[in-house]
Structure 1
Amino acid sequence: MSAKKVFDTKVLDDENSDSGFLSGPISEQLSEDFDSREHTEPTEPTNKSDKNTISENTDLDSGLDLCLSECLSNVNLGDTPTAQAPIIVIEPERTQDIPPLAILFQQDDDGDTQLHIAAVHGCEKSVGTLIRVCPETAWLDVPNNYGHTPLHLAVLSGHAVVTRMLVRAGASLGIRDRTGGTPLHIAVERNNLECLQALLARVPEHPPRKLATVLDQKNYRGQACVHVAAISGHLETLQMLLYYGADINVTENLAGRTALHMAAQRGDVRLVKHLLERCRGVTRDALDYAGRTPRKLAKRSGAARMLANLLGDDDDDSDTDDDIYDSDGEVESLFEKLRLTQNPINVA
């Protein structure tokens, strides 16, 4: 049988395999062409079976792999492949590392979240939606770069409804801002009775809270809420603080004064009269760090005579060096210097 007939039995002359390579005759022609380059006289295969095999000693520089050519020359197109095709696993696209809820509570350059922005503008619907989707209560108390939580901003803006919504959702009342003020300090300083009521009113969904600790919490000036109310002369605000359990005899940390000391020093007859006549347990003869009673401080005020009648007799009526020396002014000026350094000191 001739060589041409052998190839005709496997592959037709005008057909190509669909594997991308020409099978049969081309492999034989390539081996004969490369053999002719190395030897002056072409050599023919000794038997018919060698026509389908390429010599192992043949070196090719055409880029074709001899082992691959040998394997392809022995492939019968009619046979079914026995080797299993490689399995290609396509990994699904990775989801974003940040969940959608976390995006809503991401902080911007000022440290504000969407809840901060909604609270300061009084957007009740937006605040309600953010509270419903909030996965953890701690996310309600995220402070911005000024130490303000959404509850701080709601009180600063005077939005009592938003303030109440945040309190019912579990926002903390005792977180301090950069000046040491809590939301209660801000409400007292601004004399906002509605926001103060929204902060202190009992939440039916929560167990009863002990408000004495947060009411007597002090800012970086060492002042509790009753001191802030007494300094500003906010009588109604002071009444509300006492109703919810604030300590009227608590001393501030800079000079050791009580609310009665501060009211007497300001010459606030109305506030002093209310403290002495309406508030139980007020210490009339409390001493500050300089050993001064409220009556001694009242001597410098414009209503000294009226206050003296309200406060009663003092055992020591003489003006001493302690009375002449005004330590409060120096203490306040020292605090202002410390505050300007923007490194607040916790004196509470």
Structure 2
Amino acid sequence: MSAKKVCDTKIFEDETTDSGFLSGPLSEQLLSSDNLDTRDEPVDSDKNKKVISEYPELDSGVDLCLSECMSNVNLSDPTPTATAQAPLIVIESETTQQKNQDIPPLSILFQQDDDGDTQLHIAAVHGCEKSVGTLIRVCPDKAWLDVPNDYGHTALHLAVMSGHAVVTRMLIRAGSSLATRDVKGETPLHKAVIGNHLECLQALLSPVPEQAQRKLSTILNQKNYRGQTCVHLAASAGHIEALQTLIYFGADVNAKEGLAGWTALHVAARRADARAAQLLLQRGARAAERDYAGRTPRRLARDSRLAALLAHGGDSDSDDDAYDSDSDSENLFEKIRQSSNPINVA
């Protein structure tokens, strides 16, 4: 606008005149004959003319809220262009709202009950593949997959113990740990060997393409609280196929258990298990390996044919033939070994 004052912008109004704003229904105003004034007379008296702006205290009948809002209007502001974008308002459909209401909070899904079990534990032990898959997808942290219950069992422990190979593989691909121990110091690998769940064992040890190459040697040779590795448990139970699988993936066949220093060959010889002993000899087991008492596997063999097999397998040490342990001491050691209780060092 020009800075010069072109015309007088003051509005004159008779102070006795009613503005008519919100003073009554429009129909009443129009129908009232008193309000109809057809006279076109100029206002001659200046004393009846007042400037509205000179009397701010006079009530104009206009709502003050509207006045405050209009006071911020600047006539020089540019008009909004067509390129201005209106705010985007996203309205969720009823289906989306229903889905959001059906999703329970994560704190409930992974909350532990009185036994320390979560929904993932329960779904894993029952082999519910769809439920396990859903819980894996909504899990915000991989550490939640390895939450142990009161017995130290993770969902992976329970899936293996129940023999559910598909659920086991799902948890492995999701990042569940193989090295987690329970109250007995046993990992999921120990549980798979004890239960002779071969498919679960293969699901645990098979490589995962989405993950970096795993170092399985440490996990395969991990001992429980009785000092036994997986090969000791397989040899003790006579699970030949499980023993083959462990050796294939790199388990140490000459590892000594923590109580008497026995290798898996010692265990097989003590059980008179010729198949396990022959397999171990073929895969690199040392027939001359001695335990903490100085005994070789052949010394523990109860079968003459197995003793001959062990001697043929390389146990030709002359000192072993001359070594004659006290039978009473050996029987006492065996009784102590069988009656010993595992010490929980967790």
Common fold: TM-score over 0.5:
yes
Establish whether residue 151 from structure 1 lines up as the match of residue 156 from structure 2.
yes
Match of 2:338 among 301, 307, 332: 332
- Aligned counterparts of 1:304 and 1:201: Cα–Cα separation in 2: 34
Establish whether residue 188 from structure 1 lines up as the match of residue 204 from structure 2.
no
Structure 1 segments (4+ residues) deviating >3 Å: 300-314
The letter of the residue matching 1:292 is: R
The letter of the residue matching 2:177 is: S
Q: How far off is 1:321 after superposition?
A: 1.4
- Aligned counterparts of 1:105 and 1:308: Cα–Cα separation in 2: 53
Name the CA shift for 1:206/1:323 in 2 (closer, same or farther; >3 Å). Answer: farther
Which stretches in structure 1 are left out of the alignment for 5+ residues? Answer: 1-81, 83-98, 339-343
Name the CA shift for 1:166/1:308 in 2 (closer, same or farther; >3 Å). Answer: closer
- Secondary structure (helix, strand or coil) at the match of 1:325 reads helix
Would you say how many aligned residue pairs link Structure 1 and Structure 2? 245
Task: Give RMSD over aligned pairs.
Answer: 2.4
Higher mean C-alpha displacement, 204-213 vs 306-315 = 306-315
Q: How far off is 1:334 after superposition?
A: 2.0
The letter of the residue matching 2:283 is: C
| 1:246-257 paired onto structure 2 within 5 Å | 246-257=251-262
Name the CA shift for 1:201/1:231 in 2 (closer, same or farther; >3 Å). Answer: same
- Aligned counterparts of 1:117 and 1:331: Cα–Cα separation in 2: 37
The letter of the residue matching 2:299 is: K
The letter of the residue matching 1:335 is: N
The letter of the residue matching 1:245 is: G
Listed one character per residue, the Cα deviations across residues 84-138 of structure 1 (whole Å, up to 9, x for unaligned) are: xxxxxxxxxxxxxxx9112110000000000000000000000000000000000
Name the CA shift for 1:271/1:310 in 2 (closer, same or farther; >3 Å). Answer: farther
- Aligned counterparts of 1:223 and 1:323: Cα–Cα separation in 2: 26
Match of 2:147 among 126, 142, 150: 142
Q: How far off is 1:233 after superposition?
A: 1.1
Listed one character per residue, the Cα deviations across residues 50-89 of structure 1 (whole Å, up to 9, x for unaligned) are: xxxxxxxxxxxxxxxxxxxxxxxxxxxxxxxx9xxxxxxx
The letter of the residue matching 1:296 is: R
Q: How far off is 1:307 after superposition?
A: 3.9
Q: 8 Å contact 1:160–1:198 — kept in the other structure?
A: yes
Establish whether residue 288 from structure 1 lines up as the match of residue 291 from structure 2.
yes
Q: How far off is 1:331 after superposition?
A: 2.4
Q: 8 Å contact 1:264–1:295 — kept in the other structure?
A: yes
TM-score, with normalisation over the residues of structure 1? 0.66
Residue in 2 that maps onto 1:89: none
Q: How far off is 1:308 after superposition?
A: 4.8
- Secondary structure (helix, strand or coil) at the match of 1:255 reads coil
Higher mean C-alpha displacement, 315-324 vs 265-274 = 315-324
Q: How far off is 1:313 after superposition?
A: 3.6
Q: How far off is 1:302 after superposition?
A: 6.7
Q: How far off is 1:191 after superposition?
A: 1.0
Residue in 1 that maps onto 2:277: 272
Establish whether residue 172 from structure 1 lines up as the match of residue 177 from structure 2.
yes
| 1:306-317 paired onto structure 2 within 5 Å | 306-311=308-313, 312-315=315-318, 316-317=320-321
| 1:1-348 paired onto structure 2 within 5 Å | 100-276=105-281, 278-280=282-284, 282-298=285-301, 300-301=302-303, 303-311=305-313, 312-315=315-318, 316-318=320-322, 319-321=324-326, 325-326=330-331, 327-335=333-341, 344-345=344-345
- Aligned counterparts of 1:283 and 1:302: Cα–Cα separation in 2: 19
Q: 8 Å contact 2:190–2:233 — kept in the other structure?
A: yes
Q: 8 Å contact 1:295–1:314 — kept in the other structure?
A: no
Listed one character per residue, the Cα deviations across residues 260-302 of structure 1 (whole Å, up to 9, x for unaligned) are: 11111111111111221x213x21111101010111011x347
The letter of the residue matching 1:294 is: P
Name the CA shift for 1:323/1:193 in 2 (closer, same or farther; >3 Å). Answer: farther
Q: 8 Å contact 2:194–2:234 — kept in the other structure?
A: yes
Q: 8 Å contact 1:264–1:307 — kept in the other structure?
A: no
Q: How far off is 1:178 after superposition?
A: 0.8
Name the CA shift for 1:308/1:224 in 2 (closer, same or farther; >3 Å). Answer: closer
Q: How far off is 1:317 after superposition?
A: 2.3
- Aligned counterparts of 2:230 and 2:125: Cα–Cα separation in 1: 22
Residue in 2 that maps onto 1:48: none
- Aligned counterparts of 2:345 and 2:312: Cα–Cα separation in 1: 37
Name the CA shift for 1:229/1:288 in 2 (closer, same or farther; >3 Å). Answer: same
- Aligned counterparts of 2:156 and 2:307: Cα–Cα separation in 1: 44
- Secondary structure (helix, strand or coil) at the match of 2:228 reads coil
The letter of the residue matching 1:173 is: L
- Aligned counterparts of 2:279 and 2:225: Cα–Cα separation in 1: 28
- Secondary structure (helix, strand or coil) at the match of 2:340 reads helix
> Among the aligned pairs, what percent are the same residue?
62
- Secondary structure (helix, strand or coil) at the match of 2:222 reads coil
Q: How far off is 1:190 after superposition?
A: 1.0
Name the CA shift for 1:250/1:323 in 2 (closer, same or farther; >3 Å). Answer: farther
Q: 8 Å contact 1:267–1:303 — kept in the other structure?
A: no
